[in-house]
Chains A and B, each alone.
Chain A
Amino acid sequence: IMCASAKYNTRGPALIPRMKTKHRIYYITLFSIVLLGLIATGMFQFWPHSIESSSDWTVEKRSVHDVPVVKLPADSPIPERGDLSCRMHTCFDVYRCGFNPKNKIKVYIYSLKKYVDEFGAAVSNTISREYNELLTAISDSEFYTDDVNRACLFVPSIDVLNQNVLRIKETAQALAQLSRWDRGTNHLLFNMLPGGPPDYNTALDVPRDRALLAGGGFSTWTYRQGYDVSIPVYSPLSAEVDLPERGPGPRRYFILSSQMALHPEYQSELEALQAENGESVLILDKCTNLSDGVPAVRKRCYKNQVFDYPQVLQESTFCVVLRGARLGQAVLSDVLQAGCVPVIIADSYILPFSEVLDWKRASVVIPEEKMPEMYSILQSIPQRQIEEMQRQARWFWEAYFRSMKAIALATLQIINDRIYPYAAISYEEWNDPPAVKWSSVSNPLFLPLIPPQSQGFTAVVLTYDRVESLFRVITEVSKVPSLSKLLVVWNNQNKNPPE
């Protein structure tokens, strides 16, 4: 620094007065050109940001009914059925997701269209409220790109959340005519209610070739581990009802069952439990004599007693989540929201986000055959652990079940972690509730290693100016036989350390 300023003093000022007027103008012009160049560069630096921030208010304002209509010819191609052997390394094109410093995949969403068959009849509802929320969440996220050529993952805007409200063959045809379909490679479909009568398949029946499926209600036989993503069945009550978090601790009932239309066999097993253990077990069912105007879904009854649903879930320590016709149940979301520990009785069910979430910390899984032993199994869980499970259950709901946005982002993050495993989110980040994150200590040197004595130690001496006492310390410390190195940190910038 000193050298530079000296130069400036001797030569800089002496230069200007000696110049002639003609030259001066010449120089001023040159200067201004350079200055302009600088300003322009500076402006360009900021330009792109201003464009991005303005994008929020340049989004289209249209009605869903105005979207273009696509007619599907009866003979348009149908994709092959899902391939059960698909894995990331066989069916996914990683080359689309290049190495990038952010380690984020780019997700493209197809624009919304309305599909009709040859006769003009709609293939499905154009889009449901939940799927719209999900696509909005993806579009607002860091993953989104509007450039189809840079995308790594494609999300069709064709809504397949509920298989019962769509026409299977025509939906498949609609998928196949997507511009980048290519046998479904790198396409992601979201489905929450798969299957239908009579056999209720546990995965979406729409032929989808190699597309990834984010499905609610996978069984171990349809779930392609490491390829599909198991997601929860969203419960619209989450948005409707505000259940404040209830502190963990003992509650009025021990076991509660709130599902309606349970299979009579389950029903009788639950009743047997109730008969054995009395009032701590509560089995609710549909109310038969409700006055008009009261939504049936918000009430549950036991004999003549009427309970508010889902509020009643907060009154119980454990809440039973049994399989219905399908494996995935929306009640799981309600139960978690209430901070009630779910007791999951659904053999072969792949729990939501099981690839990353440690469900043993938030739930109890009991094989269907062991239902009669449920009470004693639950009793054997220590109170401290129950409290922790209650907290954990609520945390899972808040982080991953609460909204379609939470579900969408968790799904994309899981896929992202598979593609950039070295930048993946850790177990702790997925599973530890904020309370644990604050109170716990993660030791960066966690391995109990005892450094070998032979290595000795390094002495680090901080000093500013007091050379004398520094020398004394050095002399003393250097007498220690196990000293291997002495490091002096000289903190005085104005003075050089003594030679």
Chain B
Amino acid sequence: MQTRKKYIFLTFLASWLLIFFFGGDQLRRFTFFSGRKAEARRNWPRWTDRSLLKTFADPEELQRDGDPSLLSPRERRAAWLSVYKSSRCRMETCFDFSRCERNGFKVFTYPRDRDQPVSESYGKILASIERSRYYTPNPEEACLFILSIDTLDRDHLSAQYVRDVDEKIRGFPLWNGGRNHLIFNLYSGTWPNYTGDLGFDIGQAILAKASFDTESFRPGFDVSIPLFSKDHPQRGGERGWLYQDSVPPKKKYLLVFKGKRYLTGIGSGTRNALHHIHNGKDIISLTTCKHGKDWEKHKDTRCDKDNVDYEKFDYQELLHNSTFCIVPRGRRLGSFRFLEALQAACIPVLLSDGWELPFAEAIDWGKAAVVGSERLLLQIPSAVRCIHPERVLAFQQQTQFLWDAYFSSVDKIVHTTLEIIKDRLSPHRSRSRFLWNTLPGGLLVLPDFSTHPGDFPFYYLQHGSSPSEKFTAFIRVVSQAGSLSQPILRLIQAISGSQYCAQILVLWSCEKPPPPNGKWPQTTMPLTIIQGRRKLSDRFFPYTAIQTDAVLSLDEHTSLSTSEVDFAFVVWRSFPERIVGFPALSHFWDPEQGRWGYTSKWTNELSIVLTAAAFYHRYYHNLFTEYLPAGLRELVDGLAACEDILMNVLVAAVTKLPPIKVTQRKQHKDTVPQQVKGTAGAAGSWRFSQRQDCLNQLVDWFGYMPLVSSQLRLDPVLFKDQVSVLRKKYPRLEK
């Protein structure tokens, strides 16, 4: 009994203590608040006479904001030219727009001097420009000029440093004080303070520089580019490391860093502090003192232990297994780590105060990176811990999108730079931030086509709209007969029976003139004949006559029924960014020959849908004609039957998705090979090998194989089901 009482007493005591313990906080607050109760929270007073207060400016003054004594607008602009120079350059004052009006945006690269070899990276930059669709070899028509002098490394201790740039530049008759010039730079300044100094006078030239600091950056004029290594691929580029979305998106480590620690000098402050956040569990922050020749001279007490820890982890392993990666400043503001983390889908946590982020004029970094403050390093762990998983997932995907759209190759970096500058020339015809930051990215969205997201095949979901409900049938005629064959007449009949058809266009690519109007079948559908230039790439020219979002591309020999067309169009409206069609091919890697092959045999996979019968968005005509460089189209014109492969490669490169095959009633006859079969087997195999060649040349140009395989075919819901024909929407498909 006695013991029980004791126990009960103890329990009460314990609970009393507990209440005090947990409630104590409230109690303390209570005393705090009761002390302040008398004054309460002092809000901004509600003045009794607030309605009588004067307005900040007389309405008349607000609306009549003029002063006749001021300079006239024209005089003012002229005066700006002399005031806002060099460090205060803006496009209005330091760039000659008139050069770009005559011939559009054309870029000229100075001829290369044989005695003066350029570095690997600069060679790649120049090659990228020469590969771009803006390149011109003629300085007369150029709008932007690029030096052949390697200006990438301006650290005069470096081996790549080019001397006497000033003198060389002065020798160029085109230099013109640097007006309309674009200068690329990756490294500027040198030990000990690594300033932005380039060691020569850039005059009025635009600077595209890595590690730009916000203070010397001239907004709207300069371009900040990422730091990339000399091994960065010229084209194509590696893909990102995120192969699938994992939910929840957290990885093994929360936050990692592995890198050098500077013992002295600029940038050492940030890196010396990094070890503070290391906890050995989910936050791994490793530094080594080993760098340079004389690190042991400056070595401090931590160095030996740090160096041992440093060896315990593998950098690649950390990159693969961490949700966030710290990207601190090095000696300069930008570092290789930035692109590495971006590719690895390891969300960059930037600790580089005052860094003008790469392409920040276009890219919204808030969606892909955490911009931390060097001063608040110790808050970083708790800050990133608080980021919600869905946001982490979005961050990860955005890193991959940005990497793939703008950074994975030198081509992309250079082309992004050019497009940003081009967008400034006509602000009303430029990409909005939305277009830059949404798949498939700014490079693939041509503002000359439209600046309205609803006109492109990519944004229907985000935009809350859907593609137009009609399509344009586009038939190409190449046969030499000069008269209308039976198949084409039947085709026109079948298409004009479709409820979704808006018009029929016929591209007449024969030597003989098209038959007169009376010879064409009489349909209610408007029928237009376009005289082609007899080039294969003509078929994807953006004709103004195409007004609907959807294009049904057809060959004269194609045989389709109205039901097939209707169903395919309904499918396309659900997948407006892809090619939806009937006959399909697939590609494969041929390990024996070491090249890509393609096959039209009946396989279980497909990656190409022939444009002899396919729906796609009309924007792809613009991409084909304007985005691809002329050289590629010439290649297509030179080869037989390569244009549809190029179209498929292009669409796959843009969407990263395979085309879609739909139900087909009859076997589509790839008629041309059959004809050839009749004449000579050799010619057939010639055509086949040409197509194969074409595929390999395209892969070479893109730098990777963009085609994606699929095993999918879409059929109508009740297709071949054991139900009454009357229930079926497309009964004719089964006949």
CB distance from A418 to the nearest CB of B (A): 9
Partner of A445, one of B54, B397, B450: B397
Assess A385 versus B451: contact at CB under 8 Å? Given A99-B383, A261-B65, A358-B433.
Answer: yes
The answer to whether A37 touches B397 (Cβ under 8 A) is no
B56, A297: Cβ atoms closer than 8 Å: no
Closest to A146 in B: B42
What separation, in Å, do the CA atoms of A377 and B426 have in the docked complex?
Answer: 10
A41 & B375 in contact (Cβ 8 Å cutoff): no
**Cβ contact within 8 Å between B46 and A130:** no
Q: List A contacts of B427 (CB < 8 A).
A: 360, 365-367
Question: Given A198-B69, A348-B90: A162 and B354 within 8 A (CB)?
Answer: no
CA distance A54 to B455 in the complex (A): 54
A60-B45 in contact given A129-B54, A236-B59 (Cβ < 8 Å)? yes
How many A-B Cβ pairs are below 8 Å? 304
Q: Which residues of A are found within 8 Å of B379, using beta-carbon distances?
A: 99
Query: With A and B bound together, what is the CA distance between A395 and B68 in angstroms?
Result: 35
Residue of A nearest to B41 (CB): A55
Question: Which of B64, B73, B401 interacts with A260 by CB under 8 Å?
Answer: B64
Q: How many residues of A contact B (CB 8 A)?
A: 134
A99 surroundings in chain B (CB, below 8 A): 376, 379, 382-383
How many chain B residues sit at the interface, stated as a range, is 35 or more
Decide if A272 is an interface residue (CB 8 Å cutoff): no
A347 touches B464 (CB 8 A): no
Query: Are B432 and A37 within 8 A (Cβ)?
Result: no
A324 in complex: contacting residue of B65, B97, B452, B463, CB < 8 Å:
B65
A51 touches B33 (CB 8 A): yes
- Chain A: CB-nearest residue to B440: A448
How many angstroms between the C-alpha atoms of A123 and B72 in the bound complex?
33
The docked-state distance in angstroms from the alpha carbon of A348 to that of B84 is 11
B65–A129 touching, CB < 8 Å: no
Q: Is the CB of A452 within 8 A of B375?
A: no
Q: Is the CB of A58 within 8 A of B464?
A: no
- Known: A129-B54, A358-B433, A365-B427. Is A44-B65 also a contact (CB below 8 A)? no
Pairwise interchain contact B243-A449, C-beta atoms closer than 8 A: yes
Contact of B40 with A58 in the complex, beta carbons under 8 Å: yes
* Residues in B neighbouring A455, C-beta threshold 8 A: 244
| A466, CB-defined interface residue at 8 Å | no
Q: Give the CA-CA distance A213 to B383 in the complex, in Å.
A: 28
**Residue in chain B with minimal CB distance to A128:** B56
Contact A225 B214 (CB under 8 A): yes
Q: Are B56 and A52 in contact (CB under 8 A)?
A: no
Q: How far is the CB of A487 from chain B (nearest CB, A)?
A: 14
Q: Report the Cα distance A88→B374, complex, angstroms.
A: 12
B residues less than 8 Å from A451 (CB atoms) = 243-244
When distances are taken between beta carbons in the complex, the residues of chain A under 8 Å from B162 are none
B341 to chain A, nearest CB (A): 16
Q: Does A45 contact B (CB under 8 A)?
A: yes
Docked CA distance A143–B434 (Å) = 29
Contact with B along A128-145 (1 / 0, CB 8 A): 111110011011100010
Asked whether A3 is an interface residue with its Cβ less than 8 Å from the other chain, the reply is no
Q: Is the CB of B452 within 8 A of A388?
A: yes
Distance in angstroms from A209 CB to nearest chain B CB is 17
Task: Tell me if B656 is interfacial: C-beta within 8 Å of chain A.
Answer: yes
Q: Report the nearest A residue to B655, measured CB to CB.
A: A448
CA A347 to CA B70, docked complex, whole Å: 16
Judging by beta carbons under 8 Å apart, are A382 and B243 in contact?
no
Contacting pair B433 A421 (CB below 8 A): no
Residues in B with CB closer than 8 Å to A87 are: 214-215, 354
- Which residue of A95, A347, A447 is within 8 Å of B401 (Cβ)? A447
State whether B463 touches A436 (Cβ < 8 A).
yes
B386 is an interface residue with CB less than 8 A from chain A: yes
In whole angstroms, what is the CA distance A109 to B45 when docked? 11
CA distance A192 to B40 in the complex (A): 33
A262 interface residue (CB < 8 Å to B): yes
Q: Is the CB of B244 within 8 A of A262?
A: no
Q: Answer whether residue A221 sits at the interface, using C-beta atoms and an 8 A cutoff.
A: yes
The chain A residue with its CB closest to the CB of B218 is: A220
Q: How far is the CA of A129 from the CA of B428 in the complex (A)?
A: 37
The CA of A450 and the CA of B429, in the complex, are separated in Å by 34
Q: Across the interface, do A63 and B48 meet the contact criterion of CB distance under 8 Å? A: yes
Minimum CB–CB distance for A325 against chain B, Å: 4
Q: Is the CB of B463 within 8 A of A368?
A: no
Q: Given A33-B16, A192-B56, A48–B33 Cβ distance below 8 Å?
A: yes
Cβ–Cβ contact B44 & A136, under 8 A: yes
Residues of B within 8 A of A439 (CB): 464-465
Stretch at the interface among B387-395, B623-631, B688-696: B387-395
Query: Is B481 in the interface zone, CB < 8 Å from A?
Result: no
In the bound complex, residues from chain A placing their C-beta under 8 Å from that of B30 are 44, 47
- For B57, give the chain A residue with the smallest CB separation: A162
Expressed in whole angstroms, the Cα–Cα distance for A23 and B45 within the complex equals 59
Contact between A424 and B48 (Cβ–Cβ < 8 Å)? no
CB within 8 Å of A: which of B433-463?
Answer: 433-434, 437, 439, 450-452, 454-455, 461-463
Q: Which residues of B contact A (CB under 8 A)?
A: 5, 8-9, 12, 15-16, 19-20, 22-23, 26-27, 29-30, 33, 37, 40-51, 53-57, 59-70, 72-74, 77, 80, 84, 88, 90, 92, 97, 214-215, 219-220, 242-245, 353-354, 364, 366-367, 370-376, 379, 382-384, 386-387, 390, 393-394, 397, 400-401, 427-434, 437, 439, 450-452, 454-455, 461-465, 655-657, 708
A-B CB proximity, top 7 nearest = A439-B464, A324-B65, A261-B66, A139-B44, A41-B23, A89-B353, A385-B452
Q: A-side interface residues toward B, CB under 8 Å?
A: 23, 27, 30, 33-34, 37-38, 40-41, 44-45, 47-48, 51-52, 54-56, 58-65, 85, 87-90, 94-95, 99, 101, 109, 112, 125, 127-132, 135-136, 138-140, 144, 146, 159, 161-162, 164-165, 192-193, 197-198, 200, 220-221, 225-226, 233-237, 259-266, 286, 295-297, 323-326, 329-331, 347-348, 358, 360-361, 364-369, 377, 380-382, 384-385, 388, 417, 420-424, 426-427, 431, 435-436, 438-452, 455
Sample of 16 more A-B contacts, CB < 8 Å, known A365-B427, A427-B367 = A44-B26, A129-B50, A131-B56, A225-B219, A263-B73, A264-B72, A265-B73, A324-B65, A325-B67, A360-B427, A388-B452, A421-B366, A422-B387, A427-B433, A449-B243, A450-B657
20 example contacts (A-B, Cβ-Cβ < 8 A) are as follows A37-B20, A44-B23, A45-B26, A47-B29, A61-B46, A61-B48, A62-B48, A109-B44, A128-B53, A130-B56, A193-B56, A261-B66, A266-B73, A286-B64, A360-B432, A366-B427, A377-B428, A384-B452, A439-B465, A444-B394
